[in-house]
Structure 1
């Protein structure tokens, strides 16, 4: 079949790579426009744009699938549109432009976690299992009938970055199986069944740690916002990013936000067990192990208090 592929981040690259190496033809790629990256704000193409350019596939750069982008797709005589984490909604008339419409690879077990941040929300909610779903795109958000799905266990220490990387690979294989089935006429779609939950896009505020929550909830929240937007707290009047933690079940309970350095281990209290802080990223410095950061603080006491930003205090 002639395919149009829409996607932007690195999580969409395995799907594009697998499709362009298949029996099908990716006739064009749609991705978001170049955006400023890094401290210098250098305009940089999306990972999908870079992959498509290297493969010699024509690229349409658009932050909204309307106007000129729609007209370009309508002129491609495509059999199927495939979307993986593009970053915007597909609406009519583009929705019906390909002969078979559009299918979407979504990184959750729909109808659980419809929306922009399904992997992040699954981890933050403490889910044990997630997966990927390929469904028919419809005007309603992530509500179309399902062609296929796969499941994956969420590891106790997996971050969003780790889990999304894994799902991107296994999800790409699922996607190709569905595309093949649509091509030979064997694909069958079934309505979504189960409780619907929403996964709105994360903001910086979602990374502000509330140490008054239980240890397991704080640990899950930190994993869910890593690497973006990142978990942080305020200590010694400065912001500190927390990159990696573990629940310290064998340690005595501390007051929420209380910090102790015990046996070369940085512990921060929650409403239950303390968290062992493994890796941090101090402002203006590189990421480092928490013990080295603590020992390097000038005039540091053995115990201090990790304060919370005003907007998160109760």
Structure 2
């Protein structure tokens, strides 16, 4: 059986990444002629063109587009294998790209990173905070923290814990509009929504059927912290995780309601790309976050 031309596949991936034969050649330390010959060799073996070439532009053909994804995985796996072998003989070094939700990242993740970096002086952290759902593979993240119930995917996922959420409002709002005693009564109230959570609010209580409530109100935001001022001002009812409203609950600016109706649990997950091969620097951060975030509160 003929072995695949792994060098040509890796060069193909590099040309796609750098969008140029010359730039790819510079990046991997080969001559432009060597890069061109490798692509020609691969095209001859596959029996199809991989690129549309003009004097000003290089673009993947329709046949080349899906093959580029395979090539990127081949090159990525090879790089990870080499990094894993090198890491086994030395302390972890290099950059780790970490994505986390904005509010949770500020309150629960950022305070931990000083401890991690002090213990691992050779590691650099590139922390990306956003409540938007990032594409881990496409955007090049090594690790992501996500607060959600996850759909099936090729990502490797580890559930760290459940995040406690509360249904809350300001005392002034409840005094003016009444305090609901059953989730079904929320339909009569102004509800403040979090747009990154899709679907209705779901409530559970032992011995009773689950209740779902669809949102209706004046305000929806893609940041949990952004709706807190409206809540405190008495504009409605919201459901938010404890770490966002801890201070307001402690001060009495917000109070919980429907405490006997627990929201469906929300999991804090640690996600990584599909490959089981990970550099030691990534493994170190995963182990650290897994230990420290088991009970974030």
Same fold (TM > 0.5):
no
Larger Rg: 2
* TM-score, length-scaled by structure 2: 0.29
More helix by share: 2
* TM-score, length-scaled by structure 1: 0.28
Greater RCO, 1 or 2 (C-alpha within 8 Å, sep 6+):
2
More strand by share: 1
